[in-house]
Structure 1
Amino acid sequence: MSPFLFVLVMEVLTLILLQRIEQNGGFSYHWRCDRIQLFQLGFADDLLLFSKADPNSVRLFKEGLTVFAELSGLQANLQREGHLPLRYLGLPLLASRLSVADCRPILQKIERVFGVGTVYWAMAFILPKHVIKEIEKRLRNFLWKGSIETGYAKVSWKQVCRPVNEGGLGIRDIHALNKSLMSRHLWRLIAQERSSIWVNWIFHYRLQHYSVWTISTRSGTWGWRKLIRLRDSLRPCITYRIGDGTSFSLWHDPWHARGALISHFPLGPQHTSLPTTAPLCMVILEESWNWPSVTNMESIDITHELPTIHGGPDRILWTGPQGSFSAAAAYTVFCPPGPTVGWSSLLGGTFKIPRHRFILWLAILGRLSTMDKPWLQHLGPTCVLCQEDVMESHEHLFFMCSYATRCILAIRRVVSFHWPYSSWPTVIRWASVRWRGKHVVVRRTELFWLPLYTTCGGSAIFGFSNTPRGLRRT
């Protein structure tokens, strides 16, 4: 059955149950659902019904399901049973803390297909630190060894996860990615998206008279505590634009320059005779501030540095990266950008083979496994290209090796393009400036120059065989 058709059919069931609940006064909502009058949730081909465990409520559900079965031919599976903890759509449904054992399926899936499932889990849970380390360990080993076996690395994983323009490979940091994806749920609470059943439920049963900013991080479930602790990282990127003040809490929302007033002036409600549940509109009159007369210094301090009242509806704005909230914008909050490098353009473009780009990246960082590295000096001072008894280094491979020199001179005649043939850093700086754009000469030079230099660099990794040289552990 088409998913859309199934949704339409389930709407009929919802209307049948709703009609019976409204016509029969004997139905009792579940004690955690009565404030929002929630009695059913449906996802895919699964249906959850909520009510108080009394005969009248159960009877209404049973009658509604019977009528629905007569109309649609769809019968409820009464043999299906389940209890927590269980798995649904590949994720564990837990009433307790997420453990490493609960996350074992994602680690097993990474062993079969690298990277699959990580984002899916990261969107649903704050992953334990040990699980994140295991995921990164598997990804790191695959990058350097091609398998999940314990391997060695030439570049630290922290630098690998930096963006390309900062000298990395652009691989996402799992810890920051997890926080940025989960912060989407927190943003929906901050932005008060009441159209969401989950947000509406949180406001009625979890926050109640508090706000996201003032509720304790020590109460609630493990997942809730982990989620709410992300608020301090998002706070600098959020601005409260005051309109009519009906949507903001006077004491609990950070509309003031000092943040939530209840945190700085705990006796404010007592001195101003304004209850802790008061909305901000209680001190606004005709788009102007209208605070009650107070004499104590603490209450007087509140009226200092008052923001501008703009009128209209209240708005909560994301003033962080990218101008509007998204998981990508939140990622830059948890993984702030660093200094950029000038040679990142050499690694981009459609003409560059990934293998060439990777070896060139190692060469630019000076991390090729040349013989001058302390952990390879036991192999002897012999260049694998020219077979001369000389200590192999980056400078030798690209500028002093007789074999590489003959190749470079031959290619220069074909390309009819010249570059400074002095030192590796000089060439990189020169190429970063000159090799920009899509000019045919630039493209033709890239096609010849990059394979040559990455081949020379590849010899420092593989020599003339398929057996990699030893790699340094980080």
Structure 2
Amino acid sequence: MEYLSRLLKVAGDHENFRFHPRCNRLKLNHLCFADDLMIFCRGDLAFVRILQDKLEFFANSSGLVATSSKSDMYLAVECERLVVRMTSKIRSWQVRNLSYAARLQLVSTVLMNITNFWCQIFVLPKKVLKQVNAICRAYLWHGKVDSDTPGWAFKKICKVKDRMGQWVHNSSYSIKEVYHELLGVGQPVNWVSFVWNRSSIPKARFILWLAVNERLKSRDKLATLGLILTDTCPSCGLISESHYHLFFACIYSLQCLRDILTWLGIRIISDSLADFASRK
């Protein structure tokens, strides 16, 4: 066993060998108990192969071969069940055509809670954590398990890559200038305080922001994406439900809006939510 212990120590000194995460600080890859032996390493095939080579070398040198019927191997493959469980839930949610706010709620309350539960029991590998983050990010922004669409940060960096090359070439690189270049010059709007205020809950502010920017998923947009068969307004049943029709042309919704504004003492003065929200 002393000879085998030295061989395993040599395997631990191999430049390509990686220890088990719990044994990395001690540089420990094996423990001997009388005639029992426990061997540890990271759960990658390359590291297991290094240890296997030493065991085979020991068997050829001493004639002592490990008995397979008396040997057990434990692999950290249970982490894959976490990924499978998360992806199965997302696939069941995909058919519901949920909004961004609904997907955000599911990610924060369901998917993250599953991950937190596992983290209380196991030390999850970085690879698994990155995979979990990628799954949550893809579902949050694109509504599916995986997406090849580049992120918004990558798109912004690509827009200013030529400009950044000039800064580096002229030795005038500045984090402040890069930040302002990526941020861009936005056109100020008058409805900011109306939408982003603390008098309403975050969910209401987000929906109002979508409405002011005409980004709500009205039936005409859903029909264009092929998610529904007809874009007829379900309230009045007369014409297509567009953003303008939803708030200012539908007989039913317009009457509701007038009743609410009359009760609040506000007079309708515009057929645009952005203009209406910008008025004090």
Q: TM-score, normalised by structure 1?
A: 0.26
Q: Name whichever structure is richer in helix by fraction.
A: 2
Higher Cα radius of gyration = 1
